[in-house]
Amino acid sequence: MQNNTNVSAEEIARFEKLAARWWDPDGESRPLHDLNPVRSAYVAGRANLRGAKVADVGCGGGLLSEALARAGANVTAVDLGEKLIQIAKLHLFESNLQVDYRVQSSTELAEAEPASFDVVCCMELIEHVPDPAELVRDLSAMLKPGGQLFLSTLNRTPAAFGAAIVGAEYLMRLLPRGTHHYAQFLKPSEVATMLRRFDLELEDIKGLAYNPLTRNASLSSNTAVNYMLAARKAA
């Protein structure tokens, strides 16, 4: 394990079990495949990615990383799941894209390359770490002044509990049971407080609507279940 305290070995092991089928759009990572175009379009719509230095923190098997690279970004992608990084690297032979994949924690990346990224993306990671504020600190530390942060997570509401845990894990079995823990979901106001603490200003927030039956995903004004936000580091 890396020299990093803000990490759950149990969470890493859970996601590493999904590594072999990460790129299967009909496998256990199906919701990620369905949501990825919406997430990548949100980032591309608010940031100039061509030639930008971009970090994808908690990159998993590289779905968003490749989308960002395809949009012209120079992507550094980090995850502590070694099997996930292996799968991500292998998929580059198929996609013919360039991504700098590393088995590295957010803290290690922030220390190695402080204030050096134009854009930092962190999708569905903050609800899986022991200390969310420490993660936000790292994300801020690796951003250039004026750089942009894009983050997605789950709201701590009854609607999110019903959709993400009861629905996705137990009824429809879209995700392995135990993927999410309701107590670790974060309200937008809580994330906004963390952002301010580390010199980040919230610029936009959108809900993510997802119908697992039709596999249709879209941006929404309803942030009750999933939401994405854009923030900017003080210049």
Contact at 8 Å (CB) between 131 and 107?
A: no
pLDDT of residue 30: 85
pLDDT of residue 166: 42
Alpha carbon distances (Å) from 50 to 54, 62, 105, 112, 113: 10, 18, 25, 23, 20
- Could you tell me the pTM of the whole model? 0.89
* Closest among 121, 6, 116, 7 to 65, alpha carbons compared: 121
pLDDT of residue 170: 33
* Closest among 235, 226, 233, 234 to 42, alpha carbons compared: 226
pLDDT of residue 207: 92
Low pLDDT (below 50) residues in the chain: 1-3, 161, 166-167, 169-171
Contact at 8 Å (CB) between 134 and 197?
A: no
pLDDT of residue 145: 98
Q: How many angstroms from the chain centroid is the CA of residue 202?
A: 17
pLDDT of residue 63: 97
Listing from the earlier edge strand, what are the strands of the sheet with 74-79?
99-103, 74-79, 53-57, 117-123, 143-154, 226-233, 200-211, 216-220
Which residues make beta-bridge pairs with 211? 216
Q: ∠167-125-40 over CA atoms, to 5°?
A: 85
pLDDT of residue 160: 64
Q: Indicate the angle between helix axes 82-95 and 9-16, nearest 10 degrees.
A: 40
Taking the CA atoms of 153, 33, 143 and 111 in sequence, report the sign of the dihedral they define. Answer: positive
pLDDT of residue 161: 47
